[in-house]
Structure 1
Amino acid sequence: MQLPPGITEDDLIRQCKNGDIKPLEMLYKRFYGYAMGIGLRYCANRDDALEVVNDGFIKLFNSLNSYDPDKPFKAWLRRIIVNTAIDKNRREKKHLWNDDLELANQISTQATAIEQLNARDILNMLNKLPDLHRVVFNLYEIDGYSHDDIAALLAISASSSRVYLSRGKERLRELITKAESHERRF
């Protein structure tokens, strides 16, 4: 969503801090797509991602007065959405920490398989990972968290974070290889 002429992002945030409803709606519409992209990476389906985004915006609106305008707003929003998704996984998936970890086959893949995948294919593959593997993969590879940071966020050890990342990558390799072999048949 484009902002009305003469209104900057900072102006919009300032108006939101005053409690005006219209600027809150404009802020939501402006960053909805960005937040939904983050939510889809962390959630298994669109409904869960939408719930995370809406819950994240509620948290954002409630804590808008603590936002530091000297820091990028999108980074602050991303952190809220990521933390909301992690909280949702914690609440709803108590078995998240007990996933079956039988994915030990190391399969090499060719770079051409990855080049032929589109963003939707990659999201579908990420959604086929066990929840904890997907969350660790997103935090480490996409959002740039360290294993120590991931360990603190998820209440696991840093070495467990490394194992989940490794096994998640192994499973992605398997899925890419499977997609590549499927494509060769057609």
Structure 2
Amino acid sequence: MPANLDEHLPSILDGCLTGRRASQHELYKLYYGYGMSVAIRYVNDESEAISIVNDAFMKVYKSLKTFDRSQAYKPWFRRVVVNTAINQLKRQQKYQLETGMDETGDIADRENILSQINYRELVALVQSLSTAYRAVFNMYVIDGFPHDEIAKTLGISVSTSKSNLVRARRKLRELLREQLSINNA
């Protein structure tokens, strides 16, 4: 994004509020890439992510009047994209949520192996998780949602959210180890 974005964003948002197509297009161009980087973490392929981002922009244009201009735009936009992704996943009835149980699991064997794997490989590993695990992992680890909000958003219990996070981390560790053993072979 351009360095002078902070100067121009208020006028772009003003134009969007009045329905100016040029302003909507400008906002879309500025934040499309960021929206895609958020959406792709929640779905299996690029076409689904594009659909989510486009839906998110439609929601932004319709609800921009509710945006508190004293706050930063980017986090608000990210939240719209995340919620749009979750809603699309719900509509497609992709959730096959595992039974909730308060599983704490020991994560003491953490390794610093992320430096040995590139970003695309890591995204691919996260995308290989089940939809339920991937959604909870992204919402908690990447987007910083608390478990009670994840549970409410996904329609699951807090214990299921916690359990799915533990299981997602465990599965990612297994996948990372496999990936590293293949790369080092």
Match of 1:97 in 2: 96
The one-character-per-residue Cα deviations of 1:110-163 (angstroms, maximum 9, x if unpaired) are 42x321111101100001100010000000001111111101111101000000
The letter of the residue matching 1:58 is M
Evaluate the alpha carbon distance shift between residue 6 and residue 150 of structure 1 in structure 2; reply closer, same or farther with a 3 A threshold: closer
Question: How many Å separate the matches in 1 of 2:167 and 2:139?
Answer: 15
Match of 2:75 in 1: 75
Evaluate the alpha carbon distance shift between residue 98 and residue 46 of structure 1 in structure 2; reply closer, same or farther with a 3 A threshold: same
**Secondary structure of the equivalent of 1:137?**
helix
Match of 2:38 in 1: 38
> So what's the TM-score if we normalise by structure 1?
0.89
Structure 1 segment 1-186 matched on structure 2, within 5 A: 2=2, 8-94=8-94, 96-98=95-97, 108=109, 110-111=111-112, 113-185=113-185
How much does 1:75 deviate?
1.1
Evaluate the alpha carbon distance shift between residue 125 and residue 100 of structure 1 in structure 2; reply closer, same or farther with a 3 A threshold: farther
**Secondary structure of the equivalent of 1:178?**
helix
**Secondary structure of the equivalent of 1:8?**
helix
The letter of the residue matching 1:91 is R
How much does 1:25 deviate?
0.3
Indicate the RMSD between aligned Cα atoms, in angstroms: 2.4
> So what's the TM-score if we normalise by structure 2?
0.89
**Secondary structure of the equivalent of 1:97?**
coil
The letter of the residue matching 2:11 is D
Evaluate the alpha carbon distance shift between residue 61 and residue 110 of structure 1 in structure 2; reply closer, same or farther with a 3 A threshold: same
**Secondary structure of the equivalent of 2:125?**
helix
How much does 1:44 deviate?
1.1
How much does 1:67 deviate?
1.5
Unaligned runs of 5+ in 2: none
Aligned length: 180
